[in-house]
Amino acid sequence: MQQIEEFRSASERVLAWIEKYFRTIENYPVKSQVSPGDIFKVLPGKAPESAEALDTLLDDLDKVIMPGISHWQHPQFFAYFNANNSFPSILGELITAALGAQCMIWDTSPSGAELEEKMMEWMKSAMRLPGNWQGVIQDTASTATLCALLTAREKKSGFRVNDSGFSGLPVMTVYCSSEAHSSIEKAVKIAGIGRSNLRKITVDEAFAMKPDRLERAIEEDIKAGYVPLMAVGAAGTTGSLAIDPLTDIGRICGKYGLWYHIDAAYAGNAAILPECRPMFDGLEMADSYVFNPHKWMFTNFDCSLYFVRDREALIRTFEINPEYLSTDAVQVNNYRDWGIQLGRRFRALKLWFVLRLYGLEGIREKFRLHIALAQYFRDQLQNHGAFEILAPVSMNLVCFRYRPEGELPGEEIDALNARLLRAINAGGHAYISHTRLNGRYALRASIGQTNVERRHVDVLLDELTRCSQLLV
């Protein structure tokens, strides 16, 4: 299948495969049931010398590859955070692949640059984000957070580290809560700050950062001769969707001159709901802000929206020739200079498809359903009696555990829940994951797959009852 004459029938077969996949997705075990190495050992050791037929390839897709797929688009996928796609985003992605455009600078893809700029404006308006922010689509929140840290580092050092390294500079420190995402620690390692200079601040009983502890840590560091560089506020922690006190952290960052980055990777999507937007008050104080439509907002991976207040500092950190001095007259963005990679995908196209084919109201309606289903799930667990809720349910994530009657030591409850998780996931009807909250093993259910309905949540409830009864 290499000629255009064959493309029509070949693509029709592939599209039929995709349609059948979605029609039958609920028949697959949600979590792949293979063992490590199973797929690798049945794949041939070498690429074929001569071209094969599409039919042979599609046969192997079904026979070899599909058993090793965990179905992230299965409505009974409740693990981690969702990484949703949708029919609009699949269509946009197909065309992105067809165009095969490199969106590194305006010249190489004018529509790539200008649609990206417009999509960031659309999202700012849809979520009431500050009008003076500028945005760029990154691959992941991890990359966005690294960009924030590198920009903060350059701004603080007068762009010296980029130029001549750290030599002669005082040691810089970074702050986040003990519940913050591991990507912050990774960024601190990569940016040359050093993991031992990351301060993990204590959280309160709702798993949100204690701002007085942040201020105290900054003051102690200043006294000890460190230079506090950046604080990260979590707007929706990965463990429990806790939201740090965004306004308090902003005030502290302003007082001590720290870069303020907000990581809203998952929960930030909910800012599109007027009734949820107040939870994000304080975000306007941020120097940088990131959230991922590729998690909850029906736009297939990768699509991470990164906003900054100081566009010049961002560009000056990443540009490879000091064009910014001479291109003041140019009215367009060269996104090569807004991040780490040179080559860039046309990510804005699938977001455009999603926003136009759902409409903001279509997205809001689905989010509201997901939040209502999470409340339903929480209530059902509470009525059940043998389960306890371990964190406030503010959006669509429920943290809970099995708690049989009688006095059991903490480790035994932890072990029971770990067994329960394995039993549920091995059953193939639902997929959940876990975290630790206050040192206790906690089960997590993220109720946000694109096509999830109440009947799917009921399957999880039934599985929890069935598998927990088998435990004792």
Ligand X SMILES: *Cc1c(COP(=O)(O)O)cnc(C)c1O
Closest-CA residue to 127 (of 309, 278, 238)? 278
Question: Binding mask 405-444 vs ligand X (x if CB under 6 A, - otherwise)?
Answer: ----------------------------------------
Angle at 122 between CA 117 and CA 123, to 5 degrees: 100
Using rule CB under 6 A, residue 81 touches ligand X: yes
Concatenating the DSSP letter of every residue in 142-185 gives HHHHHHHHHHHHHHHTTTHHHHH-STTPPPEEEEEETTS-HHHH
Q: Which is nearer to ligand X, 105 or 305 (CB)?
A: 305
The CB-of-38 to ligand X minimum distance in angstroms stands at 26
The CB-of-263 to ligand X minimum distance in angstroms stands at 5
The CB-of-50 to ligand X minimum distance in angstroms stands at 39
The CB-of-292 to ligand X minimum distance in angstroms stands at 5
Question: Binding mask 279-308 vs ligand X (x if CB under 6 A, - otherwise)?
Answer: -------------x-----------x----
How far is Cα 177 from Cα 211, in angstroms, rounded to an integer?
Answer: 10
How far is Cα 306 from Cα 139, in angstroms, rounded to an integer?
Answer: 10
The CB-of-343 to ligand X minimum distance in angstroms stands at 19
The CB-of-161 to ligand X minimum distance in angstroms stands at 23
Closest-CA residue to 397 (of 417, 424, 377)? 377
Q: Which is nearer to ligand X, 151 or 238 (CB)?
A: 238
Contact 339, 302 (CB under 8 A): no
Question: Binding mask 169-188 vs ligand X (x if CB under 6 A, - otherwise)?
Answer: ------------x-x-----
The CB-of-431 to ligand X minimum distance in angstroms stands at 16
Q: What's at 471, amino acid-wise?
A: L
How far is Cα 407 from Cα 165, in angstroms, rounded to an integer?
Answer: 57
Q: Are strands 304-308 and 288-291 parallel, antiparallel or unpaired?
A: antiparallel
Q: Which is nearer to ligand X, 304 or 468 (CB)?
A: 304
Q: Which is nearer to ligand X, 186 or 403 (CB)?
A: 186
Contact 443, 416 (CB under 8 A): no
Contact 137, 346 (CB under 8 A): no
Q: Which is nearer to ligand X, 81 or 280 (CB)?
A: 81
Q: Which is nearer to ligand X, 395 or 424 (CB)?
A: 395
State whether the Cα torsion 445-448-449-455 is positive or negative: positive
The CB-of-417 to ligand X minimum distance in angstroms stands at 22
Site for ligand X in 357-396 (CB under 6 A): none
DSSP reduced 3-state for 233: strand
Q: Which is nearer to ligand X, 145 or 334 (CB)?
A: 145
Question: Binding mask 182-221 vs ligand X (x if CB under 6 A, - otherwise)?
Answer: -x--------------------------------------
State whether the Cα torsion 374-378-379-384 is positive or negative: positive
The CB-of-183 to ligand X minimum distance in angstroms stands at 5
Site for ligand X in 119-158 (CB under 6 A): 140-142
Of 148, 230, 258, 265, which one interacts with ligand X (CB under 6 A)? Answer: 265
Closest-CA residue to 307 (of 333, 288, 285, 329)? 288
Question: Binding mask 227-246 vs ligand X (x if CB under 6 A, - otherwise)?
Answer: -------x-x-x--------
The piece of 57-65, 185-193, 246-254, 262-270 that touches ligand X (CB under 6 A) is 262-270
| Partners of 304 in beta bridges | 138
Q: Which is nearer to ligand X, 153 or 444 (CB)?
A: 444
Beta strands in 320-405 (DSSP E): 387-389, 397-402
Q: Which is nearer to ligand X, 306 or 387 (CB)?
A: 306
How far is Cα 227 from Cα 221, in angstroms, rounded to an integer?
Answer: 7
**CA dihedral angle for residue 297, residue 302, residue 308, residue 310, rounded to 10 degrees:** -160
Whats the size of the chain, residue-wise?
472
Angle at which helix 348-384 crosses helix 454-471, to 10 degrees, equals 50
How far is Cα 211 from Cα 248, in angstroms, rounded to an integer?
Answer: 6
The CB-of-81 to ligand X minimum distance in angstroms stands at 6
The CB-of-46 to ligand X minimum distance in angstroms stands at 33
The piece of 191-199, 261-269, 272-280, 419-427 that touches ligand X (CB under 6 A) is 261-269
The piece of 51-59, 258-266, 391-399, 431-439 that touches ligand X (CB under 6 A) is 258-266
Using rule CB under 6 A, residue 333 touches ligand X: no
Q: What's at 365, amino acid-wise?
A: E
Interface residues with ligand X (CB under 6 A) are 81, 140-142, 181, 183, 234, 236, 238, 263, 265-266, 292, 304
